[in-house]
Homo-oligomer: A and B are copies of this chain.
């Protein structure tokens, strides 16, 4: 854990240059606009430790699978979001010497990610090896208003010299992924041109043949007496080089305007022109206007989903950072896109889609964005249904059974660990549950018959084939699975997975019943060759499925044999042995009772209304103490349950762990990128945890609590076409209905109605 980020309600601030932490900062200070994103690499040359990273939404490469031992059923490749052309680069030479913070003496270094306005600023003074000192301020952003455009303002002040400076704004598409399986480069040059006015490279990806044009233009003002300029080209690289005389104490500024346009946006032949237009329009508008647009765009984002926390700057900064990164990653405008586990902040996990989207991200977008955003996330999976059916076929399933991939970009499975790829099948349940989650929130029942049921039938078919009848148990069992707790592999009868399977089949049958008289259902049944006897088996499974339970402890059993382990709370684990995923061998982890992330408790969280409070408590008190929370997705679910049980201290601990996971580099891996999908979990830990927000059959329920560390909080949601502001103080809960029209809801179990533009206040309940 690290504590070098300064606490501030609206900004992420680092003071003083720490090269060791630079790769972490490069992740944390990332900027993006849903269309492309950029790690916080320096504009000027930097020869110290760094992960150069620029990513364009949807542009991926199928990197040939690398495994030690092939298992039948493995996919041929792992789809990776690509490290794309460097558009930020500006080489700076001072009297012939490169400005490079690795070789210079650096003072007064400060960087700030202003989340309210959406820009990254960096200030420092540097003494170069030749003794020349410069002061620098750079500010840049990825425009929210112009999603293909990025802009940089880079100001240098010669502090102790007058002399010659060379500035080299460039575009470099000769980049590679640091995680390339076979150290291959994935880009091929198609076209390039360097002119004094505008330079660009069009590069295409091997195999997938995405084309990307990255273009840039620049402009210098301030105390700058141009002496020469020229351009240069190399493979996949263009530069514009300008040299000028500068004067001690007099600043000069280079503005760089850049654009990334890809075949996700337009056809190949239009890319060059489009890219140049975007750059020129941006240059014509000028940096200040672009920055003003940026401020306004972010203001309206925050209008939708800000959370205010009073009396706890650290918690405040954490939640805003999480919401900020989510907004930078996914805007929901393009149904071809999804949310990568690292957003645009790193390469790990390939930038692909995991079950995180449905299980952790959807609730955030449901409540804080327009309806189409959540719907697009569902449609993404609907469009992949055929691939999911093919994936299941590859594993031996039949008759239209679907297994959605563990990791994907285009619907095909990418992952290649048998215990995950083939066995962590609960993901299928998350995708089914998301359909319910969406319909439940928006009441969009039509979605079920238009799209949802087709997916649900295919998933139910999978479950019904995946279980088998055990003669020994005289029950249906589900063998060889891996639950959400990946510290157990290939277990039998994982309670969570079985529970998800049963729920899916039941929900599917309800949907079939609900729409039984609709012509569209008839057409669907024909299309998917639905046999009425299929539900007979589902019913039989629902009746006779084995779900492990320990009578003595009154708990659900995570899996067969769990109680054969040595049961020992994590509090007895020496600190020197944590995190166990770093300190212990894999087999020792597997044999231990320690749980990576909510597994049985994930099921309790999803289906909480099925259980009385004592059952929830017994399971929580058994499993949470065994949980090491070494997945970023763990603390949020435990935080929600802790709030539900009135365990305020535990809820706060879990919340802070998820909210500041990256800011404090809790898991020692933020250098690889931020934990973007778990950031939505933070929002859940807040809204479903502290605020006790639930939606049941289209009704909103709130049951807020207030951590002792806070004096109050406020957050905004969108619910049934209404914008609501929920404010909680030590004395009362207020819900403001910021829209026209009335809205009813339940607070602490009592029903209220807020008139259009009106509000309701009720006294706080003591925990």
Q: Does A102 contact B (CB under 8 A)?
A: no
Q: Collect the chain B residues with CB atoms within 8 Å of residue A698's CB.
A: none
Using CB atoms, name the residue of chain B closest to A565: B479
A340 CA to B535 CA, complexed, in Å: 54
A489 CA to B491 CA, complexed, in Å: 10
In the complex the two chains form, is A72's CB within 8 Å of B561's CB? no
Segment of A62-70, A242-250, A297-305, A740-748 engaged in the interface with chain B: A62-70
In the complex the two chains form, is A468's CB within 8 Å of B418's CB? no
Q: Does A292 contact B (CB under 8 A)?
A: no
Majority secondary structure of chain A interface residues (helix, strand, loop or mixed): loop
A717 CA to B620 CA, complexed, in Å: 66
A455–chain B nearest beta-carbon distance, Å = 22
A635–chain B nearest beta-carbon distance, Å = 23
A-B contacts, 27 listed (Cβ < 8 Å): A66-B67, A68-B416, A69-B416, A69-B417, A72-B581, A72-B585, A72-B586, A72-B589, A394-B585, A395-B585, A395-B587, A395-B588, A396-B584, A396-B588, A418-B587, A422-B586, A423-B587, A468-B565, A468-B566, A469-B566, A470-B564, A471-B563, A471-B567, A479-B561, A489-B490, A490-B490, A561-B561
In the complex the two chains form, is B68's CB within 8 Å of A68's CB? yes
Q: Does A591 contact B (CB under 8 A)?
A: yes
Contact with A68, one of B65, B471, B477 (Cβ below 8 angstroms): B65
A418 CA to B444 CA, complexed, in Å: 46
Assembly of this chain: how many copies?
2
A508–chain B nearest beta-carbon distance, Å = 23
Using CB atoms, name the residue of chain B closest to A67: B68
A64–chain B nearest beta-carbon distance, Å = 11
Those 7 A-B pairs whose CB atoms lie nearest each other, nearest first: A73-B585, A422-B587, A71-B586, A472-B563, A470-B564, A395-B585, A67-B68
8 Å CB contacts to B: which residues of A550-588? 560-561, 563-567, 581-588
Q: Does A3 contact B (CB under 8 A)?
A: no
A472–chain B nearest beta-carbon distance, Å = 4
8 Å CB contacts to B: which residues of A15-35? none
A108–chain B nearest beta-carbon distance, Å = 40
A406 CA to B454 CA, complexed, in Å: 47
Contact with A560, one of B561, B567, B589 (Cβ below 8 angstroms): B561
Q: Collect the chain B residues with CB atoms within 8 Å of residue A470's CB.
A: 563-565
A451 CA to B133 CA, complexed, in Å: 71
Q: Does A232 contact B (CB under 8 A)?
A: no
Instruction: List chain A positions with a Cβ less than 8 A from chain B.
Output: 65-69, 71-73, 394-396, 416-419, 422-423, 468-473, 477, 479-480, 489-490, 492, 560-561, 563-567, 581-591
A462–chain B nearest beta-carbon distance, Å = 13
A67 CA to B423 CA, complexed, in Å: 19
Q: Collect the chain B residues with CB atoms within 8 Å of residue A471's CB.
A: 563, 567
A564 CA to B546 CA, complexed, in Å: 11
Q: Collect the chain B residues with CB atoms within 8 Å of residue A65's CB.
A: 68
Using CB atoms, name the residue of chain B closest to A473: B564
A592–chain B nearest beta-carbon distance, Å = 9
Most B-side CB within 10 Å, residue of A582, A583, A589? A589
Q: Collect the chain B residues with CB atoms within 8 Å of residue A423's CB.
A: 587
A477 CA to B593 CA, complexed, in Å: 14
In the complex the two chains form, is B492's CB within 8 Å of A564's CB? yes
A456–chain B nearest beta-carbon distance, Å = 23
A703–chain B nearest beta-carbon distance, Å = 37
Q: Collect the chain B residues with CB atoms within 8 Å of residue A563's CB.
A: 470-472
A316–chain B nearest beta-carbon distance, Å = 37
In the complex the two chains form, is A564's CB within 8 Å of B422's CB? no
Most B-side CB within 10 Å, residue of A394, A473, A480, A587? A587
Q: Collect the chain B residues with CB atoms within 8 Å of residue A587's CB.
A: 73, 395, 418, 422-423, 480
What 15 new A-B contacts, CB under 8 Å, besides A65-B68, A69-B416?
Answer: A68-B68, A72-B583, A73-B585, A73-B586, A395-B585, A396-B584, A418-B590, A422-B587, A423-B587, A468-B564, A470-B564, A472-B563, A479-B561, A490-B590, A560-B561
A69 CA to B422 CA, complexed, in Å: 15
Q: Collect the chain B residues with CB atoms within 8 Å of residue A469's CB.
A: 566
A309 CA to B418 CA, complexed, in Å: 46
A524 CA to B587 CA, complexed, in Å: 31
Q: Collect the chain B residues with CB atoms within 8 Å of residue A69's CB.
A: 416-417
Using CB atoms, name the residue of chain B closest to A585: B73
Using CB atoms, name the residue of chain B closest to A562: B472
A640 CA to B758 CA, complexed, in Å: 87
In the complex the two chains form, is A591's CB within 8 Å of B480's CB? yes
A472 CA to B548 CA, complexed, in Å: 14
A490 CA to B561 CA, complexed, in Å: 12
Using CB atoms, name the residue of chain B closest to A587: B422
A43–chain B nearest beta-carbon distance, Å = 34
Most B-side CB within 10 Å, residue of A396, A470, A563, A584? A396
A586 CA to B469 CA, complexed, in Å: 20
Contact with A492, one of B468, B561, B584 (Cβ below 8 angstroms): B561
